[in-house]
A and B are shown apart, each in its own frame.
Chain A
């Protein structure tokens, strides 16, 4: 087991280097440069000024040299400074120590995604199970339709409708942002309540669209298990249906979900650009999007690298999780 883990970890290093090399090349191949925002269609700039700027950002060196320099810094976990005009260290931009924890970009995205994931699991697992046990009933059909409506509805549009209803017509919830204007004058519980009320709509929108996938996985995996011989045996023993479903069938039906959860780990730090823009939430999605648009190479590379590491780790964790819960896999390896 330990040997297997070490082997997997060792394999991750060349994979990671490969991923970063390809990412680095591709983002540099895309037309445009970080200096464009200052120089494009600015009649006050001369060719010399442009060269000076490119030299300043180190863009005059060959691509492979630039990659080498980048790699050298990354080994020391130094992700460099952003190429945007503020020139802040990229790590400061995703994890700003001067701000309270709840206002740091990475934390904001992480928190919303974790809450949404919990909500999704809490709702989609029961939906999946009951849909499987009441297969093709009216209930199953209504549920299936509902989750697919959620899946198919454009989130930006649905979000606007909800803002209009809850933010303006009813006035129950704030429309956008993470906190109210008068936040600093609120008491501690008031502040917490203020934060929570700002999260209700984004979390709802983020969860609603993902119910379909998860509940369908759960439903089909449950259906598969329910057909197995040992379930028939359990029923033949005269066990109540509840015990058959929730004790014997459910455990095995949950196995595929481990893969699903493991693979969504990198997604926890990757925010949705649409969701974040529409709710005015300063998260990772917006940051990555803006960095791509302005060709802020160090920022893009930092987020991609973290994403790549988390993907690899998520895969590994899913495999380990499998080994722990499924004796069949454990004995095979």
Chain B
């Protein structure tokens, strides 16, 4: 299968190369019949945030990564079924002991300034991200590498101390930089971050700060010239304004809020002119308990709270149904996801029963449970400005009041929340979310060694079996063995409940109906953006040369 794929890709490259030689004169209708794929038109995507820098390893915000993803490629990437496939690497071999990965690079790929991409560029990017002086948050995966070699122009070989399963996918990070332009320079001081040269499907034409980034298609892209000639990333900080621009035609593509998706776009106008998509985001929202707190030490109490909360009610009310109840830290329908774990259907009676077993009863008749003279009362903290989390907290507060638990809610500004409360472990329960990588390794979140200040097992979870399984899961490349480990971890987490996993929200993008060729998949819609097209008869924005 893999071979076929590579063959196809090679064919594309050849075709593209031929076209390049014959001189690309504006539009070439490749589909023949009217309505088939055609070159041309502009796609305008609306965004709330402005990218800050287009060197992926230096960027911290999603807007930067989103645009840089159009300009740069990694060695490998995820396929639509979450398996790993080649990107700039044509293929790779992993040694039997799992310690050495050898990448065979694609030949004939060119940076947009015409210089050929080689293993030197991979080595350069690798050395740059490992450099002491590079202020990056992504170097840890690369510090695991014991030795990196580039035996020839098209081979790149890395050796690890220990087998490290996330290693392969870490090479999907966009760390490759053009050595011929950046060697010997301090990348934080160059103009490259605002004027990058890449090798991806699009190249930056113009960046007007605060307004837009205009990208032109890379006609020599190694997977074939993208159909859409121009991609504009338009910055509109207000979601309501962006929605009006969408209606006025100033924006072709944006993410919708739940209300916009279910109500405001439910009109004839939108059905005729737009296409909506919906797929689970790689993240989940949870309520985490401080396991060191006396209230939550008892597993039965945590389970009781889980029974008292109706997750589908939260999804229906808070997300207008645009999400699914979560049962663990993975997204449903992905390979690490275990559907058969202990679930907690909404059952207030069972909740009361469990609390009674744990010694909680309403002895003074004030409607609040108590034990040893102390009422069952705690505060849920969350960050300010996230109405979804506030609404979730309010529903939980109401549900828990019904079984005799008094909940207060406090929303804090993000930095204060993290530095003063999470880091110092001054909380009882919090509502937060995790974005999850496509690799299932969650060592940093659940391993008992990761409970120090600023580390991510902030709830203080400790389970020797989970520790062992986490270790096992990241030390093998065998997907079946990994699957087994992560399935078991989910079973244990569902029993122990350090978090109550609440919901996985859906992404709800909308795109103008004139764009064709969009194929929704578990990793979203924009993975095949270079293959989107507008049939010639529907093209709206002409190129200005």
Contact = CB atoms under 8 A, between A and B. Distances in A.
Contacts of A281: 210
A278 B53 contact: no
Contact of A279 (B188, B241, B444, B541): B241
B59 interface: yes
Contact of B415 (A30, A167, A179, A286): A30
A46 B208 contact: no
Interface stretch (A60-68, A180-188, A246-254, A313-321): A180-188
A282 B44 contact: no
A194 interface: no
Interface string A78-100: 00000011111000010010010
Contacts of B137: 38-39, 42, 44-45, 49, 53
Nearest to A37: B60
Taking each of B210, B240, B415, which has the highest tally of chain A beta carbons within 10 Å of its own beta carbon?
B210
Nearest to B170: A44
A185 to B, nearest CB: 5
A32 B418 contact: yes
Contact of B59 (A33, A42, A85, A277): A85
B52 A84 contact: yes
B236 A36 contact: no
A83 B39 CA distance: 41
Contacts of A175: 241, 244-245, 248, 250
A327 interface: no
A56 interface: yes
A47 interface: yes
Taking each of A30, A38, A182, which has the highest tally of chain B beta carbons within 10 Å of its own beta carbon?
A38
B52 A86 contact: yes
B444 to A, nearest CB: 4
B247 A278 contact: no
B244 A168 contact: yes
Given A103-B208, A167-B244, A38 B416 contact: no
Contact of A280 (B193, B235, B442): B235
A182 B211 CA distance: 14
A271 B398 CA distance: 41
A85 B544 contact: no
Nearest to A53: B135
Contacts of B245: 175-176
Interface string A161-174: 00110011001001
Interface stretch (B94-102, B138-146, B351-359): B138-146
Given A87-B189, A182-B544, A278 B238 contact: yes
Contacts of A174: 248, 250
B440 to A, nearest CB: 13
Interface in B395-426: 413-416, 418-420
Contacts of B454: 39, 47, 50
B241 A181 contact: no
Interface string B206-218: 0011110000000
Given A85-B58, A86-B52, A43 B456 contact: yes
Interface in A272-290: 276-283, 286
B445 interface: yes
Given A93-B209, A182-B544, A286-B210, A176 B60 contact: no
A42 B418 CA distance: 12
Contacts of A39: 137, 454
B153 interface: no
B237 interface: yes
Nearest to B456: A43
Size bracket of the B interface: 35 or more
Contacts of B452: 47
B257 interface: no
B416 A85 contact: no
B253 interface: no
A45 B415 contact: no
A36 B415 contact: yes
A106 B259 CA distance: 36
A280 B445 contact: no
A283 B50 CA distance: 13
Nearest to A179: B211
A79 to B, nearest CB: 17
Contacts of A96: 209
A65 to B, nearest CB: 21
Interface in A118-164: 156, 160, 163-164
A53 B188 CA distance: 13
B29 to A, nearest CB: 24
A277 B238 contact: yes
Nearest to B417: A31
B349 interface: no
Please provide the 9 A-B residue pairs with the shortest distance between their CB atoms, ordered closest to farther: A282-B210, A32-B415, A43-B444, A38-B137, A277-B237, A31-B419, A280-B236, A86-B53, A37-B60
6 contacts: A43-B444, A85-B64, A163-B241, A175-B245, A176-B250, A278-B238
Given A49-B139, A181-B44, A280-B236, 15 more contacts: A31-B419, A41-B456, A43-B442, A43-B456, A44-B444, A86-B194, A88-B194, A156-B238, A168-B248, A174-B248, A176-B245, A177-B211, A181-B541, A278-B241, A282-B209
Interface of A: 30-33, 36-47, 49-50, 52-53, 56-57, 84-88, 93, 96, 99, 103, 105, 156, 160, 163-164, 167-168, 171, 174-179, 181-182, 184-185, 276-283, 286, 293, 295
